[in-house]
Amino acid sequence: MRLAVFSDIHSNHIALEACFEEAEKRGADLWVFLGDYVSDCACPHKTMELLYTAQKTHDCRFVKGNREEYLLNHHKNGSDWAYGQTTGSLLYTYENMTAKDLYFIDSLPMTDVIRIDGTDPIRICHGAPYKTRVELKPGNGRVPQVLETVQEPVLLGGHSHTQFTEQVGEKLYVNPGSLGIPTTGIPQAEMAFLEWNGQSWVPELVHVPYDIEAVVREMTEAGLPECTSVWAHCIVKGLRTAHNYAMDCLNLAGKLAGSGSMTNAHLVQAAKQLGILE
């Protein structure tokens, strides 16, 4: 019994296709998706179409990510997202999703349990089972805290874009990393496989190469660098280097703003200092 685990795709449908090929090649029995399907890269509907195809051809499980929560909140309650600001990235994503896409993400649970006869149950979530925005990283002390809230011996989660596993006593946490926007230095799609060896689940963390420049071209053709302030520039540099330039830029802009509120001018200045913008 083998599971393929995909998380944090962020509209990178080209990387997703490469990972689907990898899962096909290895013959995974169940495909597990941990949220943050869209935003950041272009053409979110293409990612959603790949998910619908996967659903028809394979046993699949899906949970919701925080990006899905943002989009649904905008859909239901409105927001101040605007083109020309970093929020233009989310607005572009929302405007390029269909009613079917929104219905699909709205139908997803925050957490679920995979029960397969003869194997240990596995809990799945985006950040933590009780909240999507919980960032688990190696050694940041949160994995043991979150595992304490989980009954099952294995927890699968994403969100932190950090591919790692952590064993705490009898329990195992597995983060497959980010399929679409990896940030840990290797510019390839990240995913994981889990294999039942007759006694326990054994994780394998995997990198899958894909055509990064095709993703960048599509973002440029979609006009994302013009309508998202510095955001798409951060994403492009991040795709090429697997470094989280978006976070660096936000952190530096925050420092530049000091005690005042961060403006677009602070973000542009930060992006120039970091070599993200010329």
Q: Is 22 in the site for Fe ion (CB under 5 A)?
A: no
Q: Which of these ranges, 16-24, 29-37, 68-76, 226-234, lies near Fe ion under the rule CB under 5 A?
A: 29-37
Q: Is 68 in the site for Fe ion (CB under 5 A)?
A: no
Q: Is 66 in the site for Fe ion (CB under 5 A)?
A: yes
Q: Between 160 and 269, name the residue whose CB sits nearer to Fe ion.
A: 160
Q: ∠ at Cα 155 (12, 151), nearest 5°?
A: 150
Q: Between 16 and 277, name the residue whose CB sits nearer to Fe ion.
A: 16
Among 5, 20, 36, 212, binds Fe ion (CB under 5 A): 36
DSSP 8-class letter at 43: -
Residue 127: closest CA among 65, 67, 73, 182: 65
Q: Is 218 in the site for Fe ion (CB under 5 A)?
A: no
Q: Is 241 in the site for Fe ion (CB under 5 A)?
A: no
Q: How far apart are CA 109 and CA 217, in angstroms?
A: 34
As measured in angstroms, the least distance from the Cβ of 67 to Fe ion is: 6
Q: Is 74 in the site for Fe ion (CB under 5 A)?
A: no
List strand residue ranges (DSSP E) for the chain, in order. Answer: 2-6, 30-33, 59-62, 111-114, 122-125, 154-156, 164-168, 171-175, 189-196, 201-208
The neighbouring-strand residues paired with 60 are 31
Q: Which of these ranges, 50-58, 89-97, 156-164, 197-205, lies near Fe ion under the rule CB under 5 A?
A: 156-164
Amino acid at 88: G
Q: Is 159 in the site for Fe ion (CB under 5 A)?
A: yes
Q: Quick count: other Cβ atoms within 10 Å of Cβ 118?
A: 7
Residues that bind Fe ion (CB under 5 A): 36, 65-66, 159
